[in-house]
Chains A and B, each alone.
Chain A
Amino acid sequence: MTSLEIKNLHSGYNDTIIIREINLAVEQGEILCILGRNGMGKSTLLKTVMGVIRAKEGEINYRGISIKGLQPFEIARRGIGYAPQEAAIFANLTVRENLAIGFPQKTFTREAKKALGYFPHLKERLSQKAGTLSGGETKMLIACRALMGNHDLILFDEVTEGVQPSIVSDIQEALYNVNKKNNTTIIIVEQNVTFAKEIAQNYVIMSQGSIVEKGSGKEWDMDRIEKYIVI
């Protein structure tokens, strides 16, 4: 079953088109990596899927139903989790409060227990203000929050950026386990090709706002990838 299907998508800010003619189909349970240099439209693509930026043209279907034009909260409630690239935390709220947003108390306890199982280090930080976490801990918190809520599809935007290797492997293990246990579809925007290659089955490369390369299975052509991204 196709989880996410994007047809002829154009999107951007105000009158500026950032991504154009994007066509993509991601199967349920697939881990897809979107590679590309900075400023090539990778984050804009995820933001458009999540409804943060309005699509200007084209279609976005999730499990066969259009989600184009919906507000971010409606998309989230349909089962799409999102871990943005920026320091997407509420700095003045505690770690526990950051994880609790959007959940009723009962569901929160269950979901937090599950997600914190992947990041035991965060358990010791629950009462700490999120703004006082280190860069790596912040990324853990963002990833942990995205894993809560039984999502069928999760979008991760540069979740390993600027993070020490031990935390990268924690995140990698968490994503791998969630994908295997729940058949969750995962889309990762990455510049860390080593991380991407270890976790993703398929990849696409974006350049100048368009998809220029696609690869799958063992066909990771590193020479071609290297044309578009510094490895």
Chain B
Amino acid sequence: MSITLLLILDIISTVSILFIIATGLAIIFGLMGVVNLAHGHFVMLGAYTALLIVQNNLNPWLALIAAPLILAVVGLFVERFLIRMLYGKIMESILATWGLGIVITQIVELIFGKDFKQVPIPIDTTLLNIDYSFYRLLIIAFAIVLLIVLALIERRTNLGITVRAVIANHTLASTLGVNIGRVYQMTFIAGSALAGLAGAIIAPLVTVYSNMGIGYVVNAFLAILVGGAGSLFGLVGGSTLLAGSDSIVSFWADKVWGSIFLILVAMVAMKIKQLRD
């Protein structure tokens, strides 16, 4: 397999992972104006769900159902008892969810310890004669399906119209009979479930530990800032720009330079965006 094809597949799979992780965060931030710094910790909980399933000798694919369900329940409680008081309050939401993240980390360390864990890849094979992880190809396919499903929901359903209306003007939407509180609640639950799903998906590719989500949440936020909150295809663009440049530099240099370059690209992209606006 040529190095170029390998690099292209690596870029696409890295973009796909960032997109899957950032989607839930973008939905919550775009709609509710809540910066959920605990999103990375939700991703981590999804990964630990996958770990638990494997440790209990259950079908590893079960994690793709269990993780979003568990995180949906977590999201329900977090929204009800914390986030509901922070709608539209960016600074307060940053502080509160940062604190929530610390609590989640401590609980996970109490239960699972601080050790690094590994989750085996559920399907360790290649497709046709392509010498590339089939699991990574599945992630690419999943990201594409997720994008199509979300785009269809956004454009073709009443739910999508309602969500876009609430993002544009929640007071006006409310005078038209839309229960804003319910929309926010469902959004937070959906965003949390997506974080859980992302964690379960990436678990076999990374080291699972209590602070694993922090790096992802930073990159996801940068992708949202570059692509624009509330825009699905903007998020795809942001993820592609950042994860793409990270992959290319990491491939030719190393991971540290990749991360530095990612931040530089994000800063330049945001400056250009600011000048255009």
Interface, chain A (partner B; CB < 8 A)? 50, 52, 71-73, 75-77, 82, 84, 88, 90-93, 97, 100-105, 145, 149
Interface string of B160-176 (1 = CB under 8 A from A): 01101100110111111
B residues less than 8 Å from A103 (CB atoms): 158
Interface residues of A, dominant DSSP: loop
A112 to chain B, nearest CB (A): 13
B residues less than 8 Å from A82 (CB atoms): 175
User: Once the chains are docked, how many angstroms separate the CA of A2 from the CA of B83?
Assistant: 41
User: Once the chains are docked, how many angstroms separate the CA of A145 from the CA of B173?
Assistant: 12
A-B contact list, 5 entries, CB within 8 Å: A90-B172, A97-B165, A101-B177, A102-B178, A145-B176
Known: A72-B171, A84-B175, A91-B168. 5 other contacts (CB 8 A): A84-B172, A93-B165, A97-B161, A101-B176, A102-B177
User: Once the chains are docked, how many angstroms separate the CA of A77 from the CA of B158?
Assistant: 17
User: Once the chains are docked, how many angstroms separate the CA of A90 from the CA of B163?
Assistant: 12
B125 touches A (CB below 8 Å): no
Within 8 A of A (CB), among B125-175: 158, 161-162, 164-165, 168-169, 171-175
Find out whether the CB atom of A90 lies under 8 angstroms from the CB atom of B158.
no
Q: Which 10 A-B pairs have the closest CB atoms?
A: A102-B177, A76-B177, A72-B174, A102-B176, A72-B175, A90-B168, A73-B174, A82-B175, A97-B161, A101-B165
Most chain A beta-carbon contacts within 10 A, residue among B161, B173, B179: B161
Find out whether the CB atom of A52 lies under 8 angstroms from the CB atom of B168.
no
B residues less than 8 Å from A97 (CB atoms): 161, 164-165
B180 touches A (CB below 8 Å): yes
Q: A100-B158, A105-B158 are in contact. Are A52 and B177 (CB under 8 A)?
A: no
